[in-house]
Amino acid sequence: KIMRSSILVFILLASVVFVIQVLAAENDQDEKLKAIAALEEKKGKSIEKFSVKELKELLRERGVQCTGCSEKSHILEKVRETILQPVTAKTEDPKKTEDPKKNRPRRPPTDSKRDKDLDDILAKLKNMPGGENIKVMTRDDIDMLKQGKSDL
């Protein structure tokens, strides 16, 4: 009789634990849905319509790495799983934290340097072998071409 009652108690406890787990999972799912709905309302569009860049930013804000996420659906699923994680301090995109001088675009030369370079090139063209009798464009000719006023 003791064995039978202890088995019944065990079954009852296991049932209670199972019910608690189911309720907790449902509550967690409800919280995720509320968080997603709030995010959609804030952005003004459905989470399915977020760009991959926006979804990755949501993950980055929560400190989540999405390794193996090769498609938007994978990233979207990861966002749904981790939406309840707290937003940490904004982290910079690793591509943006590189040395700023390394990938800085070159500045166009100033007008005086560009004019000097152009004059040098035109002078070299005039001094080419066989170039004595040919018409070589001058800087003024090039400026007129840019303005569309050339008679060439």
Q: Which comes out higher in pLDDT, residue 71 or 29?
A: 71
DSSP category for residue 152: -
Rounded to an integer, what distance in angstroms lies between the CA atom of residue 77 and that of residue 51? 14
Task: Specify the residue for token string 């193996």.
Answer: 68
Query: Per residue in 53-65, pLDDT tens?
Result: 888 888 888 888 8
Listed in order, strand segments (DSSP E) in 4-149 are: none
Q: Where are the domains of the chain?
A: 2-82, 111-147
What average pLDDT does range 89-118 have in this prediction? 62
Total Cβ atoms within 10 A of residue 50: 20
Q: Read off the tokens for 99.
A: 């040395």
Rounded to an integer, what distance in angstroms lies between the CA atom of residue 79 and that of residue 3? 48
Angle at 135 between CA 129 and CA 137, to 5 degrees: 105
Residue 105's pLDDT band, with cuts at 50, 70 and 90, is low
Query: Per residue in 76-96, pLDDT tens?
Result: 888 888 887 777 865 555 555
Q: Read off the tokens for 82.
A: 């981790």
